[in-house]
Amino acid sequence: MAFIKWLMPLLAVFALAGCGKDADNAAAGAQAQQTFKWKLVTSWPKNFPGLGTGPEKFAAMVDEMSNGRLQIKVYGAGQLVPALEVFDAVSRGTAEMGHSGAYYWKGKSVAAQFFTSVPFGLNAQEMNAWIQYGGGLQIWQEVYAPFNIIPMAGGNSGVQMGGWFNKEINSVEDLKGLKMRIPGLGGEVLSRAGGTPVTLPGAELFTALQTGQIDATEWVGPYNDLAFGLYKAAKYYYYPGWHEPGSMLEFLINKDAFNKLPKDLQAIVTVAARAVNQDMLDEYTASNNRALVELVEKHKVDVRPFPDDVLLKLRGLSDEVLKEVAAQDPLAQKAYDSFVNFRDKVSHYHSYTEQAFINARNKPAK
């Protein structure tokens, strides 16, 4: 598999780690003969592009790197547990692993909402930096520890689209009474603006939109939205995805199951998760480009920007919501403080780098 060739040198490191005293080598040799079989449940349809294929790549990578010693069978939403019961299944040990989005678990811990995507928050590059080098991972682990779950970053879609609408959004007034499928903090912001947020699994979106159960839905972006055929059920496609600027997915790992693995298999799981986290973002960045062209040129989709006054209103409401969520729980406050501090610093830096460069690159040539 081409996308994991760069990981293979790490196997040499794992092998060297086993060198030591004769007794240690004997114990390691016994462990090396043991085979582990895990179940991985997801919140996505089986093999759904990007979201669903990421866990499949992870399982294949772990199998190859472990030489078959850790075999992981992936189940799509509803095959073993419903889409929104992944967290409980991993916590109980019904499945050793899960793949989902942390904002679905706000009923477990309000702090969990900071670990998928925050309205007007971090993009994918910034989210990865906060998690891996800005203290985010340590807080995330603390949030999930009472549930016997170890979290790991499991992919990112990048900045999403604003969603599919059967109503024009020309002003803030048009948000009032709007029934929209939008989870997490974004849903709370919409509620403050007078809309009605609805939580639905992806497989139900097309029918809900087509039948008028909802007026609008966000999902991911052109790549996944095209696969679901949402353009057949809605008139307008709005941008940008203010509610999910860098939606990090997650691998959920049952702590007891992880601790039973020998150290080299634990390392393989960790490295494979890091690889898939980056690979998924690469896939979305490339595939969204192609899908948007098809939606516009072949299917004649009406792509529209949200009006500036709507975005300004939503941003103000987002600040209010984040502060109120943080005040509900000490861990939520800890996550909020870390997140906002990192966001402010990286935004300042990126005004000189990423943002300045993109602005310069996109200026019409004279």
Instruction: Give residue-wise pLDDT tens across range 154-190.
Output: 999 999 999 999 999 999 999 999 999 998 899 999 9
Amino acid at 166: N
Instruction: Choose among 272, 41, 264: nearest CA to 154.
Output: 272
Element (H, E) at 72: strand 70-75
Amino acid at 335: A
Q: Which residues contact 220 (CB under 8 A, 6 or more apart)?
A: 50, 51, 157, 160, 161, 247, 284
Across the range 116-121, mean pLDDT stands at 96
Q: Which residues contact 281 (CB under 8 A, 6 or more apart)?
A: 124, 155, 156, 157, 158
> What's the pTM value of the predicted model, to 2 decimals?
0.88
- Output the pLDDT for position 28: 55
Length of the chain: 366
- Output the pLDDT for position 2: 47
User: Is the pLDDT assigned to residue 73 strictly greater than 70?
Assistant: yes
Average pLDDT of the chain? Answer: 92
Residue 218 sits at the vertex; the CA angle it makes with 212 and 220, to the nearest 5 degrees, is 140
Q: How confident is the model at residue 85 (pLDDT cuts 50, 70, 90)?
A: very high
- Output the pLDDT for position 290: 96
DSSP 59: H
